[in-house]
Amino acid sequence: MAKNKLLRMDNVGIVVESLDNVISFFEEIGLSLEGRATVEGEWAGRVTGLGSQSVEIAVMVTPDGHSRLELSQFLNPATISDHRNSPINALGYLRVMFTVEDIDEMVSRLTKRGAKLVGEVVQYEESYRLCYIRGTEGILIGLAEELGNSKK
């Protein structure tokens, strides 16, 4: 019998307080809004185990069209815990990493919008420059610039 194989990763989900603010932040990074809708009812709650629910979602897509973020703002039931300011070494899903053309320009642009550099921009061998930032709502984002492929 043939082994069932993985086809692709569809998206990474992030629960947020304000869809509008987080959409705007990810647009600044370079993602585009692919769609926005309200998902509600008992059928959706059967998937999440939350019972009857109402969630406004927005799907953001990367410029290459291959990666997506699903942003969820729960209208009902209310969110019950907040992990946004957990340290880098906390257990569980933590961050999304994006490759950017110019890390210094991106950090500068995002800090003007209130993002904070977590540590510093560092270089890994001759391959990458990397950093973590906390963006809107404290969402942790990794940024990577491939060396040798930038326009610098």
Using CB atoms within 10 Å of the CB of residue 143, give its burial: 0 to 12 exposed, 13 to 18 middle, 19+ buried: buried
CA distances from 129 to 41, 120, 136 (A): 45, 10, 22
Per-residue model confidence as pLDDT tens digits over 59-113: 999 999 999 999 999 998 888 888 888 888 888 877 899 999 999 999 999 999 9
Share of the chain above pLDDT 70, in %: 97
Write phi, then psi, for 74 (nearest 5 degrees).
-75, 125
- Identify the residue whose tokens are 């510093």: 120
For the domain bounded by 96-146, which CATH number is listed? 3.10.180.10
Fold of domain 12-76: 2,3-Dihydroxybiphenyl 1,2-Dioxygenase; domain 1 (3.10.180)
Predicted TM-score (pTM) of the model is 0.85
Domains 12-76 and 96-146 share a fold: yes
